[in-house]
Structure 1
Amino acid sequence: MHRTKKKKKMKRQDALLKVYFHDPYRFADFINVILFNGQEILEPTMLEDYDSDTSTYVETHQIGVIGINRNRDIIKKVNIDGKMGLIAIENQSHVDRRMLYRIREYDSYTCLNQYYYQQSQSKSRKKLLHIMTLVLYFGSKPWKGARTFNELALQPPSSLESFMNYPMVPIVCVTDLDYHMFHHYDNLNLIRGLQIIYRFNGNIEMLKGMIVSKIVASLLALFSDDEELFEMIQIQSQEEINMCESIRKFKEDNIRQGKIEGRMEGRIEGHIEGRIEGQVELLIEILQYKLKYLSQETIFKLQNSSEQQLKELSKHIFEIQDEKEVTQILVS
């Protein structure tokens, strides 16, 4: 995959997963499966949003104040029986061996920001909130690096082991989870769908028969590298997506597009030396299908173009995205 296209895909995945886990019901259900084997210990009402901006500063004698810009994916404040803490989720779609070190960094900056906030409050000095971070790995390749910080560290002296501070920072491969343990319908479908996609090498047709929410359908399309299906899902108005129907419609659109492209390629070659009127009709037909609309002004320009201009347009017709590009090619 081209680097720019891959970067765009990762940004879409990250943005959509942040929206997905902002919902307290999905968040709580995931935590319950990972930490409590599906028991509903953490309830959505126990969660509240917490600032995901972990940007902070440090003071040094040599340089002075150094600003540090960091942002978490999602972080929630938890209140269970009056006792509070912080739980953060970091979403990861590719293997990054630095991830555990990054998590230690994020957690340290979160604690530092709590300290700075307390220093700014003259009336009360509250204690810091404990924090834990889970990394959810959504990639198709196995995670080859360490999954906890203990795996990166040497074994400490046995007499000091209980005093050493190695917090649990698990990296969880979501495809290893048992989707039957989820109570939230979206989480169940997301994990089940990902497992099916990766088992069949990204073949999204294996999802036929699943009816899922729009956000789950969008994520499954992105993780199967099918950006065209993703775009088609975005324009659908309903909030529940029948994957079978969506895939069928997507295939029909592709077949129809292929037929029109095939007609154009064959007929353009056959008529390139023939009548200009035939070429114009064919080009108008193609452009109306691709752009959904073609103004009378553009149609008039096409009808009054030279054979050379039409030849140039034919070379680029499948790359055209809007009506302005048609005019630009004709006048170039």
Structure 2
Amino acid sequence: MGKKDIITKEYMEDTEVFADVFNHMIYQGEKVIEPEKLKELDTANVVIPHGADGAEVPYQKYRDIFKVLCAMEDENAVYLLLGVENQSKVHFAMPVKNMVYDSLGYTAQVQKAEASHRKARQEKDPKEKKPDSAEFLSGFYREDRLLPIITVVVYFGADNWAAPRSLHEMLVVQDEEILTLVPDYRINLIAPAELSEEELEHFASSFREVMQFIKASIDKKKMKQLVEANAAFETMDRKAVRVMEEMTGVKLEREEKEEKVNVCKAFRDIKEEERAEGRNEGKECEQRLTKYLLQDNRIEDLKRSLDDEDFRSKLLKEYGIE
């Protein structure tokens, strides 16, 4: 796992950020999913698909982040399995990758139901009904139900997602009559460059500022205006700032022990340092020019260059000084 993957995973594990993403994706920003009702699950899904002659082959895949939501609706518990895939680069097979993860998740649920029924029968649990032949064969009873799995892909790049967003886009056949018989699989995608201003307002956590910062990073002037106009950047979470730095290449100086970072101040400090470096480089160039002019005994040109900026620039080019 690369540095970018580690940093984005650590950030997205925050339950407030995680809930924020799914409230946007499912409820258009309405605060329905509460962070405290999220419980993290093991991201390793292990299933046992049947091979030749009934042989069982362990198969394991890892999601980036996987959580279960338990909410209350009409006095009944409602569960959702929520997964996030973080991408620092586009993935041209993302629909298949997500489809595998989700399929393994559903397969694991079916196997868990089958194991639960088998255990209940072995222990002669009086609450366990006697299955008919079809139920016994599948291990999944008529009354059994699966928990819905929702996977969201969060792309942390500043450009558009230039890769397939559905299984159908990846197929060599585009005949509509054939495709009607091939189930499609679309990814749920969040990409900064594709978020409108209205959609960005759906977010209530630092995720909004992270998306805004990455989106504006292709234009340094817009990025500066964004930071200066938004007070939220004055107290940014350190994990969020690490994501912003890593994904944009903008180094925001700070004390590593600080939990909150003033991005506005850091941005001003960086600009001042850049200006200071520019002034120092300018002085070094002028000193080199003076040295060369004295060596060539061009005293009059040296005197003129002190007051004539255009003439000085011409001399710098003449001597190849940059």
For normalisation by structure 1, the TM-score amounts to 0.61
Q: Partner of 1:69 in structure 2?
A: 60
Partner residue in 1 for 2:17: 26
Question: 1:183: how far off?
Answer: 4.2
Q: Indicate the residue corresponding to 1:287 in structure 2.
A: none
Question: Is the CA contact (8 Å cut-off) linking 1:88 and 1:134 kept in structure 2?
Answer: yes
Higher relative contact order (CA 8 A, sep 6+): 2
> How do 1:60-209 residues align onto structure 2 when only pairs under 5 Å count?
60-61=51-52, 64-80=55-71, 81=73, 82-121=77-116, 122-123=119-120, 127-152=145-170, 154=174, 165-166=183-184, 168-178=186-196, 180-200=200-220, 208-209=227-228
> Per-residue deviation at 1:251?
6.8
The residue identity in structure 2 corresponding to 1:95 is V
Task: Determine the C-alpha separation between the residues in 1 that align with 2:149 and 2:17.
Answer: 19
Kindly provide the amino acid, as one letter, of the partner of residue 4 in structure 2: Q
Figure out how many residues of one structure are paired with residues of the other and give that number: 246
Once the two structures are superposed, residues 99-124 of structure 1 have per-residue CA deviations (whole angstroms, 9 ceiling, x without a partner) of 11011111111222223333333137
Note the residue ranges of structure 1 that are not aligned, 5 or more in a row.
Answer: 1-9, 264-332
Task: Spell out the pairing of 1:261-276 with structure 2 (5 A cutoff).
Answer: none
Distance 1:26 1:63, change over 3 A: same
Structure 1 pair 87–139 and aligned structure 2 pair: CA distance change class (3 A)? same
One-letter amino acid of the structure 2 residue matched with residue 175 of structure 1: A
Please report the TM-score for the alignment, with normalisation by the length of structure 2: 0.63
Structure 2, gaps ≥5 residues long: 121-127, 129-139, 285-322
Residue in structure 1 matching 2:258, options 224, 228, 238: 238
Q: Closer, same or farther in 2 for the Cα pair 1:85/1:155, shift >3 Å?
A: farther
Secondary structure of the residue aligned to 1:42 is coil
- Cα distance in structure 2, aligned partners of 1:69 and 1:219: 28
What whole-Å deviation, never above 9, does each CA across 1:24-75 have from its counterpart, x for those lacking one?
Answer: 2211111122232222232224422222112434331269443333210111
Answer yes or no: is the 8 Å Cα contact 1:197–1:206 preserved in 2: no
Indicate the percent of aligned positions where both proteins have the same amino acid: 20
Asked whether the equivalents of residues 99 and 185 of structure 2 are also in contact (C-alpha less than 8 Å), the reply is no
Partner of 1:274: none
What is the aligned-residue RMSD (CA, Å)?
Answer: 3.7
Change (3 A) 1:62 1:15: same
Do 1:193 and 1:207's aligned partners in 2 also have CA atoms closer than 8 Å?
A: yes
Counterpart residue identity of residue 23, structure 1: D
- Name the SS for the 2:160 alignment partner: coil
Report which of the two structures shows the higher radius of gyration computed on alpha carbons: 2
